[in-house]
Structure 1
Amino acid sequence: MQHQRPSAMLTGALPIVLDAMGGDAAPDVTVRGALLAVKRAGISVRLVGQRQVIQPMLDQLPSSDRVALDLLDAPDVIRMDEEPIAAVRRPGNSIRVGITQLRDGAGAAFVSAGHSGAIVAAAVLELGRLPGVDRPALAIPFPTVDGRWVLVLDAGATVDPRPEWLVHYAWLAQAYLRVTQGIQHPRIGLISNGEEPGKGSRLVREVYARLQETPGLTFVGNIEPHQLPQGKVDIALCDGFTGNILLKTGEGAAWLVRETVQRAFRAHWYTALLGALVRPVLRQALQRLDYRAYGAVPLLGVDGLVFIAHGRSDADAIAQAVLRAYQAAHAGLLAALRTALSEQDSMPRSE
């Protein structure tokens, strides 16, 4: 299902739509995060959520802080333990109401730290998919040792994809990096259990063959997960199950490093002294392993700009998510994705 966008869809003039009820600590952190984003970039944010809960919070703000915030009532909230399809079909939930703003041309992008499955379902239902794309993908940045990021997708939108869908992801990721990072010919790798062409599951082997035969993509072959921090590729493709496990394993590894170092510093007086000396440098290094550093990740493949933030996001992470969505809208990401897909006559299609 494709929707026509009104001619008034000018990203610079439209607000970023924020699901005020999404996240473990919503709506407190979402309202504060929205306010931070407004103060940092002078943009407008539309909060979507339960008016009886959020309006008293807004009423306590100075009038100068409220000028770039408005509130759209959405009386229903989707819980994290709900089944996505059934949940988004209920009228009035904050995720679907917010995404409908994009469909109707009333918002530049949508941001939520809520139920990711429900966000994907609502985005496909209300916005439809971009031409040539069968399933959307979550694209997450994975830090490298040289200070860059590898874009890993899919990180959980589709756990059991067809081979051609991963090729679609490659086109989407390439367009995304061209717009957001200026990388014209990103190197594309396929996550597997070995670098050799014959390695991997049946899905990986089939995707490998398709990528080799697809012009317009710089496919460099298989890549093992431990090579991601080395920055050997710019894009790493995988199914949604593998990508989600990779993401959560990375979060666990970051927590382990942080906890191990902190406990070592507290072990003795001399390690505490050493910790005081190196803590600023260490903190800067560990920030790259923190999900709050990038705020939110894009859902690529739907016909609108949808960004999903971590459920544990604090106010600063929400602000980063809103700013990332604004930057993508301001840069014309959606138009670039449409153009990239329309120009690929050789792009594989589903039977």
Structure 2
Amino acid sequence: MRKRLAIDAMGGDHAPQAIVEGVNQALAAFDDIEIQLYGDEDKIRPYLTSKERVTIIHTREKIASDDEPAKAIRQKKEASMVLAAKAVKNGEADAIVSAGNTGALLAAGLFVVGRIKGIDRPGLLSTLPTTDGQGFDMLDLGANAENTPKHLHQYAILGSFYAKYVRNIDKPRIGLLNNGTEASKGDPLRKEAYDLLANDDSLHFVGNVEARDLMAGVADVIVADGFTGNAVLKTMEGTAMAILGQLKTTLTGGGLRTKLGALLVKDSLRGMKDSLDYSSAGGAVLFGVKAPVIKAHGSSDSQAIYHTIKQTRKMLATEVVTQLVTTFEATEKGTE
């Protein structure tokens, strides 16, 4: 059976062109997907080269990047993102992808698609780069500003599921982001979360980890509260861009000898750039809702959109959300 993806064609800095061109690539690569493009047909049609397994659901209403998220979801009922989310809720699509307003997509995921019973606070998860190319999954990256120890424990379970089913890691190593590696480190939130994780035999908990070790591959899943996780994500993004920018300036702004040297190491530098670019891993997942809700980066180009669709396709193929539902519903019944 083909996987049906509802895609917000009007979200993102380069919409609809980048979105539609990414869809063209995905349809050419995968014959087991169907795409529903939500947005202004007059603006979508010029970029759409695929003729089969794709439909356009026309609407001129969209959610802007500066719209207040919850208000926009309630009031803009015909917006491309809202219609795509409703398609998932009504069983007309299996997943939603958008590069638009992050807060609005999170609100659509929670209030339209719906939270899995037993999960208190779905978290935003993304796969981030490591120096060995294996990457690590981190959550929460900003879906929630505040968390309890129980939330962090659930994030460890969610991240472990994602790493196992989507990234094929048999026994994912779970690390708790903290200000030191000793078990006694941290504030009450981290200390209580540490005890919950250490006493859960279903998890491969490796203890506290520090931010400086994340890209060294210290764990397969990193657990953090949403405020801290988002700050770390933005720091990693900014540092990567600054390093690459400084390298480019140094190599292109130097003398003849520097430019000759740059030509010699060009392939190595391209490999370095690729290792720091996590767009090939896809988008950020609102994990803990009843269907895949995927947020592509706002500045996504067509290649990033293609990789996000590829990621969504794999999530559907592995039925990771179904596995989550089964596990948490069983846990809920056991506590009744």
Question: Structure 2 length as normaliser, TM-score?
Answer: 0.94
Aligned length: 333
Structure 2 residue aligned with 1:66: 51
C-alpha distance in structure 2 between counterparts of 1:20 and 1:107, whole Å: 15
Determine if the alignment matches structure 1 residue 108 to structure 2 residue 94: yes
The answer to which of 20-29 and 256-265 deviates more is 256-265
Following superposition, the deviation at residue 345 of structure 1 comes to 7.0
- Map Cα deviations across residues 216-258 of structure 1 (whole Å, 9 max, x no partner): 1121211000111111211110011111111111111111111
Determine if the alignment matches structure 1 residue 23 to structure 2 residue 12: yes
Corresponding residue SS for 1:172: helix
Determine if the alignment matches structure 1 residue 76 to structure 2 residue 61: yes
Corresponding residue SS for 1:188: strand
Structure 1 stretches lacking a partner, 5+ long: 1-11
Corresponding residue SS for 2:3: coil
C-alpha distance in structure 1 between counterparts of 2:333 and 2:9, whole Å: 41
C-alpha distance in structure 2 between counterparts of 1:16 and 1:101, whole Å: 9
C-alpha distance in structure 1 between counterparts of 2:196 and 2:158, whole Å: 16
**Given that residues 145 and 230 in structure 1 are in contact (C-alpha distance below 8 angstroms), is that contact kept between their aligned partners in structure 2?**
yes
**Given that residues 21 and 47 in structure 2 are in contact (C-alpha distance below 8 angstroms), is that contact kept between their aligned partners in structure 1?**
no
**Aligned pairs for 1:242-257 within 5 A:** 242-257=228-243
C-alpha distance in structure 2 between counterparts of 1:25 and 1:290, whole Å: 18
Q: 1:299 to 1:347 in 2, by over 3 A?
A: farther
Q: 1:347 to 1:48 in 2, by over 3 A?
A: farther
Corresponding residue SS for 2:141: coil
C-alpha distance in structure 1 between counterparts of 2:300 and 2:61, whole Å: 21
Following superposition, the deviation at residue 56 of structure 1 comes to 5.0
**Given that residues 124 and 285 in structure 2 are in contact (C-alpha distance below 8 angstroms), is that contact kept between their aligned partners in structure 1?**
yes
C-alpha distance in structure 2 between counterparts of 1:259 and 1:347, whole Å: 54
C-alpha distance in structure 2 between counterparts of 1:257 and 1:212, whole Å: 37
**Given that residues 172 and 340 in structure 1 are in contact (C-alpha distance below 8 angstroms), is that contact kept between their aligned partners in structure 2?**
no
Whichever residue aligns with residue 126 of structure 1, its letter is V
Structure 2 residue aligned with 1:49: 39
Following superposition, the deviation at residue 343 of structure 1 comes to 4.9
RMSD (Å) for aligned C-alpha atoms: 1.9
**Given that residues 18 and 305 in structure 2 are in contact (C-alpha distance below 8 angstroms), is that contact kept between their aligned partners in structure 1?**
yes
Whichever residue aligns with residue 66 of structure 1, its letter is K
C-alpha distance in structure 2 between counterparts of 1:14 and 1:180, whole Å: 16
**Given that residues 171 and 340 in structure 1 are in contact (C-alpha distance below 8 angstroms), is that contact kept between their aligned partners in structure 2?**
no
- Map Cα deviations across residues 151-172 of structure 1 (whole Å, 9 max, x no partner): 1100111111122111111111
- Map Cα deviations across residues 239-292 of structure 1 (whole Å, 9 max, x no partner): 111111111111111111111211221212111111111111211221121232
Whichever residue aligns with residue 49 of structure 1, its letter is G
Corresponding residue SS for 1:44: strand
The answer to which of 180-189 and 318-327 deviates more is 180-189
Whichever residue aligns with residue 157 of structure 2, its letter is W
Structure 2 residue aligned with 1:306: 293
**Aligned pairs for 1:155-234 within 5 A:** 155-234=141-220
C-alpha distance in structure 1 between counterparts of 2:335 and 2:236, whole Å: 32
Structure 1 residue aligned with 2:325: 338
C-alpha distance in structure 1 between counterparts of 2:282 and 2:47, whole Å: 23
**Given that residues 214 and 346 in structure 1 are in contact (C-alpha distance below 8 angstroms), is that contact kept between their aligned partners in structure 2?**
no
Following superposition, the deviation at residue 340 of structure 1 comes to 3.4
Question: Structure 1 length as normaliser, TM-score?
Answer: 0.90
The answer to which of 117-126 and 283-292 deviates more is 283-292
Structure 2 stretches lacking a partner, 5+ long: none
Structure 1 residue aligned with 2:280: 293
Whichever residue aligns with residue 192 of structure 1, its letter is N
Whichever residue aligns with residue 294 of structure 1, its letter is A
The answer to which of 226-235 and 286-295 deviates more is 286-295
C-alpha distance in structure 2 between counterparts of 1:45 and 1:163, whole Å: 39
C-alpha distance in structure 1 between counterparts of 2:311 and 2:335, whole Å: 30
User: How many percent identity over aligned positions?
Assistant: 34
2:23 to 34, 38, 41: 34
Following superposition, the deviation at residue 198 of structure 1 comes to 2.4
**Given that residues 137 and 157 in structure 1 are in contact (C-alpha distance below 8 angstroms), is that contact kept between their aligned partners in structure 2?**
yes
Determine if the alignment matches structure 1 residue 283 to structure 2 residue 270: yes
Corresponding residue SS for 2:266: helix
**Given that residues 3 and 316 in structure 2 are in contact (C-alpha distance below 8 angstroms), is that contact kept between their aligned partners in structure 1?**
no
Determine if the alignment matches structure 1 residue 274 to structure 2 residue 264: no
